[in-house]
Amino acid sequence: MAKIHEVAKAAGVSISTVSYALSGKRPVAAETRRRIEAAVAELDYRPNAGARMLAGNRTHILAVTEPLRADTHAPTHMAFVLATAIAARRSDYDVLLLTDEQASAGMHRVAASGLVDGIIVLDVAPTDERVALSREIPTPTVFVGVPRDHEGLLCVDLDFERAADMAVEQLVAAGHRRIGLIGHAPPAYELSNFPPRVRDGFLAAAEARGARGEFAMLAGEGRSDLRARRAASGLLDSGVTALVLHCNDEAHNGVLEEIAARGMDIPGDVSVISVGSSFDTGGFATALSSVPLVPQESCDIAVELALQRIDGDDPAPGVRLIDPHFIDRGSVAPPRSVSE
């Protein structure tokens, strides 16, 4: 582990010049810079992290808090953590993973010790203890998700209401008037912030667009594909001609199985749109049109906002809702009664 003065000596300059050459915060003669860079490469020099934190008042680390309860959907959460890490690295930041304890304990710790420059809050609950904490600490904090009480907070999220509305819009435009929504398991509507937003957006959109919206959750115990089959079965029995899915990929499979088992065809007999899914909806037995949730979008913006606050630019607090977009994979068509 070479140190800055070795680089300075090797390049025949002072250590401050080395520092400036690397940070770019002061102009350095081209020839001088060249020699410094050569020395850096030669010695495989990297500024010592601790020294940089202490002197520079910047750690180049972002904390990511993710409660990671046992019941959470691992692939989705993993995707957000990954997306955050990728966004952070693009700005030369590393990511410290906070999973532990009462969620806020770790957050408090890293803030008080100055271990991180900023904090990204994932898997936000409607009532989240990290909200109160974020107001007490000086460390810039950005929420990916919208807690109930978000006064003064910086939040980023997909516009789930609009996403649901967009799905309904497509289906109504195709002629559907009876539309079902298959959601998550009931606890998700208490513990997570976005399922209720999709549900409410869906019901409001149906009403506003002159259709009848019906909502079913994954009730009961066991495999979610089987629970989704039951939910789909109930909705299809009740006469819906189209389904909106806001659930995990396993549940998607269940719905497709139920439809296939009935000898029904997509989109001939029933139209289907997936909403807010962060997995690929093109890989199912039948490819599904969707209004996806793209983790990279939210996380890019979240990291960017955090960095702005770190750099002293002060983005106005408030909720940044990301515009959803519709991906057509051909799973929507007019209902039988209309097309015939």
Partner DNA sequence: TTGAAAGCGGTACCAG
Partner DNA sequence: CTGGTACCGCTTTCAA
Residues of the shown chain interacting with a copy of itself in the complex, contacts defined by CB under 8 A: 1, 44-54, 59, 61, 64, 68, 74-75, 77-79, 81-82, 85-86, 89, 94-101, 106, 109-110, 112-115, 138, 222-223, 250, 253, 283, 285
Tell whether residue 298 is a contact of DNA (CB under 7 A).
no
Which residues are 65's β-sheet partners?
98, 121
The 8-class DSSP code of residue 254 comes to H
**44 binding DNA? (CB under 7 A):** no
Task: Measure Cα distances from 35 to 20, 21, 41, 255 in Å.
Answer: 13, 10, 10, 64
Select 27 or 50, whichever has its Cβ closest to a copy of itself. 50
d(CA 335, CA 136): 54
Is residue 19 a contact residue for DNA (CB under 7 A)?
yes
Which CB sits closer to a copy of itself, 71 or 151? 71
Q: Choose, by CB under 7 A, the member of 9, 15, 86, 308 that binds DNA.
A: 15
Q: Which range of residues in 17-25, 70-78, 124-132, 147-155 is near DNA by CB under 7 A?
A: 17-25
CA 228 to chain centre: 24
Q: How far apart are CA 64 and CA 74, in angstroms?
A: 16
179 strand-pairing partners: 213, 242
Query: According to the binding rule CB under 7 A, does residue 3 interact with DNA?
Result: yes
Is residue 112 a contact partner of residue 84, using CB atoms and an 8 Å limit? no
Nearer to a copy of itself, 32 or 99 (CB): 99
**Contact pattern from residue 49 through residue 88 relative to DNA, giving x for each residue in contact according to CB under 7 A and a dash for the rest:** -xxx-xxxx-------------------------------
- How far from chain centre, in Å, is Cα 193? 12
Least distance between DNA and beta carbon 22 (Å): 6
The secondary element (H helix, E strand) that includes residue 178 is: strand 178-182
Nearer to a copy of itself, 96 or 174 (CB): 96
By CB under 7 A, is residue 48 in contact with DNA? yes
Token pair, residue 91, equals 């700005």
Residue 84 CA to residue 171 CA, distance in Å, equals 33
Token pair for 101: 């304890």
Give the footprint of DNA on this chain (CB under 7 A): 2-5, 12-17, 19-20, 22-23, 25-29, 31-32, 45, 47-48, 50-52, 54-57
